[in-house]
Amino acid sequence: MLNISENSISSKVQLNDFKSGGLLKKTRIRRLPLFLIGGLLLAIIITMFLPWTQSIQAKGYVTTRSPQQRPQAIQSVISGRLEKWYVQEGDFVEAGDTIIYISEIKSDYFDPNLVERTSDQVSAKTQSIQSYGDKVTALNNQFKALNAAMKLKIDQTNNKIEQTRTKMVMDSMDLVAYNTNLKVAQNQLNRTKTLYDKGLKSLTELQAKELKLQSTQAKTTIQENKIINRKNELANLFIELMSVERDYSNKLAKAQSDKQSALSSKLDAMANTSKLQSQLSNYSARQQFYYITAPQAGYVTKALKKGLGQIVKEGTDIVSIMPASYELAVEIYVKPQDLPLLTIGNTAKLRFDGWPAIVISGWPEASTGIFTGNVIAIDQFISDNGYYRLLISPNTEDKKWPEQLRVGTGTNTFMLLKDVPIWYEIWRQLNGFPPDFYKKTDKKSKEVKRKAPLKSVK
């Protein structure tokens, strides 16, 4: 009864005197707390034996699996001055569409006819190469002509030498004959003188023999002088032969030197031409870099350089672009102590920022608003932040990831491991033990084939 009156009847009426009042008081005061405590303990004990899925929790963000599908900045290959924008932030561009136009700022490229004039220089150098080539050909022909003339002159001199040698042989034979005649004349003179002394020959005959002897001696002397002249002539021919060889050797060496000089000039002209052609190609290619184009289809996200007239250096980021088509993935970082528990193909539950979800990490089946993925890559070296990086791709067998999901969205990830009782998980957490690691093994044991025993040989 509620005590809401100032007039109390507790001194006149005692509830314990009534059986119903006593039972009511005893039940409310003594049994209800016991039932509550007992029920709570029973619920806790039952809960402790419920299955709990162990997991490794990590945070990350949405990215793309292919590097070429990630957001990228577009740079300028050359230094220049911003002249005109062709797009706005948020515009969709196809591959090759012009984004911005820049003008030249280096004085070496101010000439508007730079390409044409460099082309003229290349043409002039090309003609110079042709001229040097013709000169080399002419000197080569001159060398051949001099070589042929040298051979002809040498042959001519050798023929003269042979002729002189032949004349020397003939003169030597004539000298032998003259010497024989001289001996005969000397004998005839001696006999004639003897006969003259005896009076058998006249003085006239004796003088005739003396005259004949003198004539024969004169002819012999002339023939000897003639042979000496032949020897001198032969020596002169040998000197002439050496002179011819020396003269033509000098001419051939000069022609060869001129040829090598012309060839060197030709090669130098070819090198200069190649250099000019390289410059011409560079100038032509540089003019194409004035228009900065989109490398692939995507959306212009942010202009990093603003306005007109701003100077940009080569390699400077100008605008960022997000590819239109991409394959999403999640990049997370895990502790080194958890890395041995993970392998390629592990299942992961994902909760994306901005998508409402109710997550119970130990009961993934009871969670709502979460998505499923599989581990596709694990780094082989540790990152600068002291963690290992993992990539998770969508699970094609489960529901698709949201189409509105964008690169850079934050993610909470739960890497599912082994199912254990809740009491074991609480005990593990209190003691700081790592999650249980296990691998599925094939329970079917392979039967061992046994060979029949060999029969004993008698």
Q: What CATH number corresponds to the domain at position 80?
A: 2.40.50.100
**Domain assignment present for 94:** yes
Please give the pLDDT value at position 97: 92
- 400 vs 306: CA distance, rounded Å: 39
Within this chain, do residues 122 and 210 fall inside the same structural domain, yes or no? yes
Phi, psi (rounded to 5 degrees) for 130: -65, -40
**Domain assignment present for 419:** yes
Supply the CATH number for residue 128's domain: 1.10.287
What does the radius of gyration of the chain's CA atoms come to, in whole angstroms?
61
Within this chain, do residues 135 and 202 fall inside the same structural domain, yes or no? yes
- Give the count of domains, the chain: 3
Please give the pLDDT value at position 7: 63
Domain range enclosing 75: 71-104+290-322
Q: Which helix (H) or strand (E) holds 195?
A: helix 114-197
Within this chain, do residues 99 and 120 fall inside the same structural domain, yes or no? no
Please give the pLDDT value at position 86: 92
Within this chain, do residues 275 and 391 fall inside the same structural domain, yes or no? no
Within this chain, do residues 335 and 375 fall inside the same structural domain, yes or no? yes
**Domain assignment present for 184:** yes
Within this chain, do residues 268 and 381 fall inside the same structural domain, yes or no? no
Within this chain, do residues 207 and 251 fall inside the same structural domain, yes or no? yes
Within this chain, do residues 88 and 54 fall inside the same structural domain, yes or no? no
Within this chain, do residues 152 and 280 fall inside the same structural domain, yes or no? yes
pTM, two decimals, is 0.54
- 143 vs 146: CA distance, rounded Å: 5
- Taking CA 106 as the corner, what is the angle to CA 102 and CA 111, rounded to the nearest 5 degrees? 90
Task: Encode pLDDT of 319-347 as tens digits.
Answer: 999 888 888 899 999 888 778 778 888 88
**Domain assignment present for 348:** yes
Within this chain, do residues 343 and 302 fall inside the same structural domain, yes or no? no
**Residue 403, exposed/middle/buried by CB under 10 A (0-12, 13-18, 19+)?**
exposed
Please give the pLDDT value at position 366: 55
Within this chain, do residues 247 and 206 fall inside the same structural domain, yes or no? yes
Within this chain, do residues 84 and 155 fall inside the same structural domain, yes or no? no
Q: What is the pLDDT along the chain (458 residues), one digit of tens a residue?
A: 455 556 666 666 666 666 666 655 555 545 667 778 878 888 877 877 777 676 778 888 999 888 888 888 999 888 899 999 999 888 999 998 999 999 888 888 888 888 888 888 888 888 888 888 888 899 889 888 988 998 998 998 899 889 888 888 888 888 888 888 888 888 888 888 888 888 877 888 888 888 888 888 888 888 888 888 888 988 898 898 898 889 988 988 988 888 888 888 888 988 988 898 888 888 888 888 899 999 999 999 888 887 788 888 888 899 999 888 888 899 999 888 778 778 888 888 888 888 877 766 666 665 667 888 899 999 888 888 889 999 999 987 888 888 888 888 899 887 766 666 777 767 766 766 666 644 444 444 344 344 444 343 33
**Domain assignment present for 187:** yes
Please give the pLDDT value at position 300: 92
Supply the CATH number for residue 366's domain: 2.40.30.170
